């Protein structure tokens, strides 16, 4: 059996706040499509994080950013992730690991999700090296101080950041 002839898993859910989505997130979505027939990008509103963009703005930016990718859906979810994954009849949660510092938190979340529903697996993917340091927080901080992040985010995000941080 060749790599390309392996059967893909039906559906995976890639959850996050995505405030805003970065090229690192897009990289993980593309990597996920190698493993899954369909990927659902599930946006958590996360008001406790005080997002820069509201959930509808994030939804539109992500939809625009993945418009050319087949088999990617973008939705908002609220509540327990395992409940959402079950509702969507997905097999796995997709998470990115950039560095060792991500591992402890992601392991705790994966183990808690497994405790809540042992049928749901977490799949950890590493981004391309060029995005291994990239976070939405870094993007917001650099952009908020006038730094050029256009090579690190999709064009729609770059435009939205420019508009949001415009000096008046």
pLDDT in tens, 80-111: 999 999 999 999 999 999 888 889 999 999 99
Cα 30 to Cα 35: distance, rounded to the nearest angstrom:
10
Average predicted confidence (pLDDT) for the chain? 93
Cα 104 to Cα 148: distance, rounded to the nearest angstrom:
31
Q: What pLDDT shows up at residue 5?
A: 58
Q: What pLDDT shows up at residue 6?
A: 67
Q: What pLDDT shows up at residue 168?
A: 45
Reported as type and span, the H/E element at residue 10 is: strand 9-16
Q: Which residues are catalytic?
A: 25, 49, 98, 136
pLDDT digits (tens, 9 = 90+) for 3-39: 555 677 799 999 999 999 999 999 999 999 999 999 9
Read off the pTM. 0.92
As separate numbers, helices (DSSP H) first and strands (DSSP E) second, the chain gives 6, 5
**Is the pLDDT confidence value at 2 over 80?**
no
Tell me the average pLDDT across 47-62: 95
Tell me the average pLDDT across 66-87: 97
**126 three-class SS:** coil
Reported as type and span, the H/E element at residue 157 is: helix 155-164
**Is the pLDDT confidence value at 41 over 50?**
yes
Q: What pLDDT shows up at residue 1?
A: 44
Domains of the chain: 10-162 (3.40.50.620)
Q: Where are the alpha helices (DSSP H) in 12-135?
A: 23-35, 55-65, 81-87, 100-116
The pair of structure tokens assigned to 152 is 């690190």
Tell me the average pLDDT across 146-152: 96
**13 three-class SS:** strand
Structure confidence at residue 60 as a pLDDT band (50, 70, 90): very high
Cα 12 to Cα 92: distance, rounded to the nearest angstrom:
5
Among candidate residues 157, 165, 168, 164, the one with its CA nearest the CA of residue 66: 157
Q: Name which residue leads in pLDDT, 166 or 26.
A: 26
């Amino acid at each position: 059996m060749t790599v390309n002839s392996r059967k893909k898993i039906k559906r995976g859910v890639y959850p996050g706040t995505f405030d805003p989505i970065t090229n690192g997130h897009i990289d993980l979505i593309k990597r996920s499509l190698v493993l899954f027939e369909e990927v659902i990008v599930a946006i958590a509103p996360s008001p406790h994080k005080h997002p820069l963009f509201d959930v509808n703005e994030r939804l539109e930016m992500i939809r625009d950013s993945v418009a050319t990718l087949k088999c990617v859906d973008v939705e908002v979810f609220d509540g327990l992730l395992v409940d959402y994954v079950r509702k969507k009849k997905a097999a796995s949660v997709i998470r990115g690991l950039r560095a060792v510092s991500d591992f402890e938190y992601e392991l705790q979340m994966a183990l808690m999700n497994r405790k809540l529903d042992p049928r749901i697996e977490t799949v950890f993917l590493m981004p391309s090296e060029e995005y291994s340091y990239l976070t939405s927080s870094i993007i917001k901080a650099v952009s908020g101080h006038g730094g050029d992040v256009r090579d690190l985010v999709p064009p729609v995000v770059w435009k939205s950041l420019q508009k949001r941080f415009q000096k008046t």
